[in-house]
Amino acid sequence: MENNYFIDSDKLSESALKRKHELENNPSVRTNHMEYMDGMEKINSDIRDKVLSAMESYDYNSYTADDVKSALEHERCTIEDFKVLLSPSAEPFLEQMAEKARLETRKHFGNTVYLFTPLYIANYCENYCIYCGFNCYNDIKRMKLSMEQIEREMQVIAESGMEEILILTGESHSKSSIEYIGEACKLARKYFRMVGIEIYPVNTEEYKYLHECGVDYVTVFQETYNSERYEQLHLMGHKRVFPYRFDAQERALMGGMRGIACSALLGLSDFRKDALASALHVYYLQRKYPHAEISLSCPRLRPIVNNAEINPLDVHEKQLCQVLCAYRIFLPFCGITVSSRESESFRNGIVKICATKISAGVSTGIGDHESKYTGKENSSAEGDEQFEISDGRSFKQMYSDMSDEGLQPVLNDYIYV
């Protein structure tokens, strides 16, 4: 697959531009993406082998309409049934899949929909991931919030009524240290009843520390489970190490986290195979850690700063709906999050079928919740966004819209004793 995601290099220094071109055009200068770097913890787990073996052998063009009919008739969806439901042959059966998914969702989640908001506290990054707006070679306004600024952002968000927050950073160990993230999480505990993080992968002991700082759950995007495509897209930095990233969720659970979320960024590679791998990652983790709350996120590529041409490859709303319905049928107890990357109309529809969690009041920039929530300009404390969102509804509007759709918005369902 050709690489169509190169960024504008006009403002890079001569040395940085030279290094960028070397990484893009000379694979021999890149580190081995399957080799661990110093300090990276290796764990003894067979989950990665199981997931990748199933993905690599998946021939989705081998299934027929009769296979789809048979899979939909089964009371329990097996792995083989799930493969069928992800196949092109299942697309004409999307209405039947949606109805089956809707019934499973109502059976296990009722008519509830969970609301949360993300808070980006820094956008410095040491990785060169060529599809991401934060990547270290993209010329953007970088920002790292102070603890005072973080607390002010949290106050503004909490005053809106939100009770769950997801804290995000760029992947920079030097600018966004574990200690910095931990202090932000301690602040979050003052204002929110649920705290999640989406940061660079860390070792078990570091996840344990963050859990002690108040973190409930960890989200990690594998981006793509195709290791060859992964190598083409991640040219430099800790994120380049494919197996270390894959095992991040398991290390988080070993560190005491209550829950984790898995995801591929659909559109980077073959979305059907990535969808299969994402769900199997959850499937095997759930069986190994039955006490854990495990969920799936389902993002598609979106345009980024300096490159508006980035869009998902072959993953249109119909295909995304198929993936989401297949997820629900295969993993009836699993939470499914649909982000603000998707349109208002799509999210309004999908929460009636299979999604259980959506973001509201979203900003992917740094330090601009106050200006968005209150209307007060605060440009000196704002950094550029990671990607463009599609659904920009406020928390208040989202809550009202979900209620109008006949759903019950839930802000938190967990009580610490």
Low pLDDT (below 70) residues in the chain: 1-13, 302-313, 364, 368, 370-388, 417
pLDDT computed for residue 379 by the predictor: 47
pLDDT tens digit sequence for 139-157: 788 899 999 999 999 999 9
How many Cβ atoms are within 10 Å of 39's Cβ, its own excluded?
9
pLDDT score recorded for residue 169: 95
SS3 219: strand
172-196 burial by CB neighbour count: b if 16+ within 10 A, else e? Answer: beebbebebbbebbebbbebbbbbb
Q: Output the pLDDT for position 3.
A: 40
**Rounded to whole angstroms, how far apart are CA atoms 56 and 207?**
31
Give the C-alpha separation, 299 to 340, whole Å. 9
- Burial of 318: CB neighbours in 10 Å, binned 0-12, 13-18, 19+: exposed
Give the ranges where 74-202 is alpha helix by DSSP (H).
79-86, 94-109, 147-159, 178-191
Q: Is the dihedral of CA 132, 137, 140, 142 positive or negative?
A: positive
Per-residue pLDDT at 382: 62
Report the pLDDT value the prediction gives residue 10, as an integer from 0 to 100: 44
The b-or-e profile of 302-311 (16+ CB within 10 A means b, else e) is bebbbbeebe
Nearest to 196 by CA among 260, 242, 146, 292: 260
Q: What residue ranges define each of the domains in the chain, with the CATH number in brackets?
A: 14-410 (3.20.20.70)
Q: How far apart are CA 338 and CA 298, in angstroms?
A: 6
Question: Distance between CA atoms of 214 and 189, rounded to whole angstroms?
Answer: 6
Query: 317-330 and 94-109 are packed helices; what angle lies between their axes, rounded to 10 degrees?
Result: 50
